[in-house]
Amino acid sequence: MHPRNKHLSGYDFPLLLTYVPELEKHLITKENGESTLNFADKTAVLLLNKALLFAFYDIKFWDLPEQFLCPPVPGRADYIHALADLLASDNGGEIPTGKSIRCLDIGTGANLIYPILGRALYKWRFVGSDINEIAVKIAQNISQANRLDIKIKHQKQANAIFSSIIGKSDYFDITMCNPPFHASEKEAQQGTQRKWKNLGIDKSEGKNTLNFGGHAPELWCEGGELGFVKNMICESANFKEQVGWFTCLISKKDNIPLLTKALQQQKVANFKTVKMVQGNKQSRFLAWRY
């Protein structure tokens, strides 16, 4: 994980149980006597991440309907920390903090996770957007319940990622996005089955529930990740005077060469791929500016 990640040393379950006591019944004991979580249990994962938000990120209320994506907080925090490093590279190595830094989270989801983390870690000011009206309302409720002053906008058109969200007088130091990475529901289900297999669980009998949840707009879209990010790159040219850095997580590393070509065709001034590592998992985000 990133060296500033609060969760580098693992989970302090005694501490987390003081915030969310119902987490205890989902703990299991390893052979060495240490406590761990049944990560195949969606309810357990939701409670764990709720406890992390309560214990470390100044959140008092956070809950999600069953069909919405439950984000793993430590991995999401890494993206925020890496964005802070990116902004620091333009600021003499010093991370800019405070409300003067404006961030746009595309596809913020019902969980509102990136604005919550960015606000808690660096005091940045956030606008979130999402194409799902129900997700927008849930995110607004979380913001209001915790007095976060995060504005959430409804993206009404699938291909208008920035156009309906960035106003004429807006400026954002950075935009971020965790895009849907599957091209269809079938592809998403196949990905789910691979996740269960990696967890050593047999879900071959049609039970395709993800342990982190998620539904259509969060998991798949027409064209998949590649099509989504290409569209974002194309549209970003219309807002080059209103955004410092555009960034987007890229799940499939094979998409990087194709997206690099799209950026070159768009004649951006600078772009880079930033790699992140969480345990055995490698992730990355693409960043570009004009």
SS3 40: coil
CATH of the domain at 107: 3.40.50.150
Within-domain flag for 26: no
Task: Provide the pairing of β-strand 125-130 with 151-154.
Answer: parallel
Within-domain flag for 81: yes
pTM exceeds 0.75, yes or no: yes
Angle, in degrees to the nearest 10, between helices 256-266 and 224-236: 20
Pair 230, 263: CB distance under 8 Å: no
- Residues 129-180 pLDDT 10s: 999 999 999 999 999 999 999 999 999 998 899 998 999 999 999 999 999 8
Average pLDDT, the chain: 88
Model confidence at 211, pLDDT cuts 50, 70, 90, reads: very low
Within-domain flag for 1: no
Within-domain flag for 149: yes
Within-domain flag for 194: yes
Quote the CA–CA distance of 254 and 62 in Å, as a whole number: 35
Kindly report the length of the chain: 290
pLDDT of residue 197: 52
Q: How many domains does the chain have?
A: 1
Angle, in degrees to the nearest 10, between helices 73-88 and 113-122: 50
Within-domain flag for 3: no
Within-domain flag for 33: no
- Residues 5-44 pLDDT 10s: 999 999 999 999 999 999 999 999 988 888 899 888 999 9
The residue segments making up the domain with residue 187 are: 61-289
Residue 286, H or E segment:
strand 281-289
Collect all residues with Cβ–Cβ distance below 8 Å to 162 and sequence separation of at least 6.
106, 175, 232, 235, 236, 238, 239
